């Protein structure tokens, strides 16, 4: 799941959210997803206790920052109905809601941030083959194989690759 750790204004509201923000909050809803495929993954593909890689995007060093866990199955994203909310969507009808969200809880930060660049340099590794993060960067909620999850968590325990 991607979040933006740096200041980001949406309709004049700062929607930044980092792994440290999740750590401070303990749990958080994942409101604001306004893409159908990402919604479907949350609604149909995620269940309580699933582990989540927390990715920092749109920032100086994009990459995987930590681990979270799903703690509530998908439910209606009510922020879409609130005209004063930055994620308001007039097309989501309360009688037939368009958008859904899950809740996640903080598990831990990785020992170090695993930069996207590093993962790109390792994309020929079988564990990362076909990983959505590397093949279609723009999806904000993506499936992660068990192999990719393990690979990235183990990678975070190693020293960063030396710069070229």
Partner DNA sequence: GCCAACGTTGGC
Interface residues toward DNA, by CB under 7 A: 2, 34-37, 57-59, 62, 91, 116-117, 120, 136-140
Which H or E element spans position 104? strand 100-115
Q: How far is the CB of 44 from DNA (least distance, A)?
A: 15
Which one, 39 or 67, has the nearer CB to DNA? Answer: 39
d(CA 59, CA 118): 15
Q: How far is the CB of 43 from DNA (least distance, A)?
A: 14
Q: How far is the CB of 4 from DNA (least distance, A)?
A: 7
- For residue 54, the SS3 value is strand
Q: How far is the CB of 129 from DNA (least distance, A)?
A: 16
- For residue 49, the SS3 value is coil
Which one, 27 or 35, has the nearer CB to DNA? Answer: 35
Which one, 115 or 127, has the nearer CB to DNA? Answer: 115
Task: DSSP letter for 79, please.
Answer: G
Which one, 62 or 66, has the nearer CB to DNA? Answer: 62
d(CA 101, CA 120): 29
d(CA 5, CA 17): 5
């Amino acid at each position: 799941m991607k979040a933006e750790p740096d200041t980001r204004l949406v309709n004049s509201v700062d929607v930044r959210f980092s792994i440290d923000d999740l750590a401070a909050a303990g749990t958080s809803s994942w409101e604001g997803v306004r893409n159908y495929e990402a919604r479907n993954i949350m609604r149909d593909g995620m269940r309580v206790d699933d582990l989540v890689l927390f990715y920092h995007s749109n920032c100086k060093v994009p990459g995987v920052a930590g681990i979270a866990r799903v703690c509530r199955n998908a439910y209606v994203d009510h922020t879409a109905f609130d005209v004063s909310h930055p994620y308001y969507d007039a097309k989501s009808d309360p009688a037939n809601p368009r958008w859904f969200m899950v809740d996640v809880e903080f598990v831990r930060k990785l020992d170090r941030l695993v930069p996207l660049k590093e993962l790109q340099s390792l994309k020929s590794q079988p564990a990362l083959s076909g990983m959505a993060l590397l093949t279609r960067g723009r999806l904000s909620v993506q499936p992660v194989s068990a192999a990719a999850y393990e690979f990235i968590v183990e990678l975070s325990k190693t020293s960063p690759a030396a710069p070229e």
